Amino acid sequence: MARTRVHNFFVSLDGYSAGETITLDKPIGGAERLFQHFDGRVIEGVHAVDDPITLDRALTSTWGQGIGAEIMGRGKFGPQTGPWTDEEWRGWWGDEPPFRTPVVVLTHHARESISFDNGTSFHFVDATPADALERARDLAGGKDVRIGGGASTVRQFLQADLIDFMHLVTVPIVLGRGVSIWDGLEEVQDRFAIESTTTKSGLVHHFWNRER
Amino acid sequence: MARTRVHNFFVSLDGYSAGETITLDKPIGGAERLFQHFDGRVIEGVHAVDDPITLDRALTSTWGQGIGAEIMGRGKFGPQTGPWTDEEWRGWWGDEPPFRTPVVVLTHHARESISFDNGTSFHFVDATPADALERARDLAGGKDVRIGGGASTVRQFLQADLIDFMHLVTVPIVLGRGVSIWDGLEEVQDRFAIESTTTKSGLVHHFWNRER
Ligand SMILES: NC(=O)c1ccc[n+]([C@@H]2O[C@H](COP(=O)([O-])OP(=O)(O)OC[C@H]3O[C@@H](n4cnc5c(N)ncnc54)[C@H](OP(=O)(O)O)[C@@H]3O)[C@@H](O)[C@H]2O)c1
Ligand SMILES: NC(=O)c1ccc[n+]([C@@H]2O[C@H](COP(=O)([O-])OP(=O)(O)OC[C@H]3O[C@@H](n4cnc5c(N)ncnc54)[C@H](OP(=O)(O)O)[C@@H]3O)[C@@H](O)[C@H]2O)c1
């Protein structure tokens, strides 16, 4: 059975995963330090880049393994809110989005799909988490579906009990404000078997596997 | 530049990686408990098997990423010593060896190569570590080469300073006797940047990256 997985989801010591106001210059809404130990070049496997293979790298590189599609919220795709005004803009990542699979973008505002040469495509969908997951499974060709964030998207999928695996990373910084995945999720940990470990960088990696 | 990597190399608390006498029934020479937390089904990636994705699993699954060939000692291929008497025997793994790449088997006793449908082939080579590595690089098609063990093979490659990356796993057992990679390698750690982390199973994972 294909799984629904969250990978490399960074959380501050005070529980935030993004700043409150996202702009074109500030894709994490001012909380860019959450990604200070993250190297986007290594998430496809430990061989992709000729840099030391650290524990952080081995753990974050599971991101792409066996993934056939991603689901993300509109806030991860871009800073726009309300009806789309500039459809020329094709996401933060330029011509080479790292996903290399179909991506379902949750939004209340319909828009044409976008495709890239490297296998990435964005499909804009207004749906409940369960229906969005069904759509993503169709696109994933039997492989696993990644829930890519942001915080309010991961929160919805946890609330609907649709997450099988979650790799959270605690970053040793205090943000003071921002968007959290935890609002309204008291006791969510009881549905999971959880283990954690530390690395030299000061990150703490948490692996949550849903109990069967 | 392609690397030379050791993965999932299990060591007891007293420093041993195999028992002293390997037989057909005892491929690890009586030290089979070294592999008690190892699941050979998961080393190709975290998606391969529908079991919980543990930290141990994420770390051991880097084994196959970007690998184009393996080098192993004859003691990992089978229990025979001296000239080959039974060439019908094709290694411990039956018709589906997990390697799925060419494998250079170090031996002083020549023998015909063997091929399997799943991409694995064994090539029996009498050579120094440096020459064996050149041969493996030719077979690896630009990808990394894994040094697969056993202990005396890893030791030779460390002595020749040919290892770029090594993932050692300390298993919390005391064997009392056996084969060690450490003989004659005093201070070898000085050539590497080393980090380690613990997991719920009691294993300690060590990542050694050669200093440039
Ligand atoms: N910390 C991390 O590891 C991490 C990971 C990924 C992303 N991020 C960051 O997180 C931030 C975004 O997070 P966020 O929580 O603000 O936003 P988000 O989850 O990315 O997107 C939320 C928006 O998506 C749309 N949406 C969500 N669910 C929907 C549904 N069921 N049906 C229809 N539309 C739906 C709504 O937009 P509309 O109503 O406007 O259409 C909603 O405002 C960004 O800064 C991103 O870079 C952080
Ligand atoms: N703990 C772990 O993670 C781990 C990993 C892999 C394997 N193992 C275990 O380790 C054991 C084998 O280790 P080992 O140290 O006894 O043996 P090994 O390294 O597998 O093989 C040693 C043999 O290979 C041949 N050889 C090695 N270097 C050579 C060279 N440069 N030129 C020509 N021939 C060469 C020699 O055989 P001949 O002279 O007879 O030809 C030598 O006796 C097995 O039990 C295996 O299952 C453990």
Residues 6+ apart with CB under 8 A from A84: A109, A111
Q: Domains in chain B, please, with CATH?
A: 4-79+95-210 (3.40.430.10)
SS3 content of chain A, % helix, strand, coil (to 5): 20, 25, 55
Q: For atom 25 of ligand 1, which residue has the closest CA? A: A107
CA angle B62, B66, B69 (to 5 degrees): 105
Q: Which of these, A163, A189, A192, lies nearest to A3 by C-alpha position? A: A163
Q: Does B94 reach chain A within 8 Å, measured CB to CB? A: no
pTM of the model: 0.93
Return d(Cα A151, Cα A96) in angstroms, integer: 24
pLDDT tens-digit profile of B103-113?
999 999 999 99
> What atom of ligand 1 comes closest to residue A77's alpha carbon?
20
Q: Which stretches within B9-87 are classed as H helix? A: 55-60, 74-77
pLDDT tens-digit profile of A30-71?
888 999 888 777 676 777 788 899 999 999 989 999 999 999
Other Cβ atoms less than 10 A from the Cβ of A21: the count is: 11
Q: Which stretches within chain A are classed as H helix? A: 55-60, 74-77, 129-140, 151-159
Size (chain B), residues: 212
Return d(Cα B194, Cα B184) in angstroms, integer: 20
Q: Which has more pLDDT, B120 or A44? A: B120
Q: Is the omega angle on the peptide bond into residue A150 within 30 degrees of 0, that is, cis?
A: yes
ipTM metric: 0.89
pLDDT at B90 over 80: yes
Chain centre to alpha carbon of residue B4: 12
Average pLDDT over chain A reads 93
Both tokens assigned to B160? 């020749």
Q: For atom 17 of ligand 2, which residue has the closest CA? A: B75
CA of A22, nearest ligand number: 1
Contact B105, B74 (CB under 8 A): yes
Chain centre to alpha carbon of residue B114: 19
Give every residue of chain A whose pLDDT is below 70, as ranges.
42, 44
Task: For ligand 1, say whether the CB of A28 is within 6 Å of any of its atoms.
Answer: yes
CA of A128, nearest ligand number: 1
Q: Does B48 reach chain A within 8 Å, measured CB to CB? A: yes
pLDDT at site A79: 93
Return d(Cα A75, Cα A150) in angstroms, integer: 7
pLDDT at site B30: 86
Judged by DSSP in three states, A208 sits in strand
Contact A31, A176 (CB under 8 A): no
**Hey, which bits of chain A come out as E strands?**
4-12, 67-73, 102-106, 114-115, 121-125, 144-149, 165-171, 192-198, 204-210
B50·A1 Cβ contact <8 A? yes
Return d(Cα B32, Cα B51) in angstroms, integer: 23
pLDDT at B180 over 90: yes
Distance of CA B78 from the midpoint of ligand 2 (Å):
9
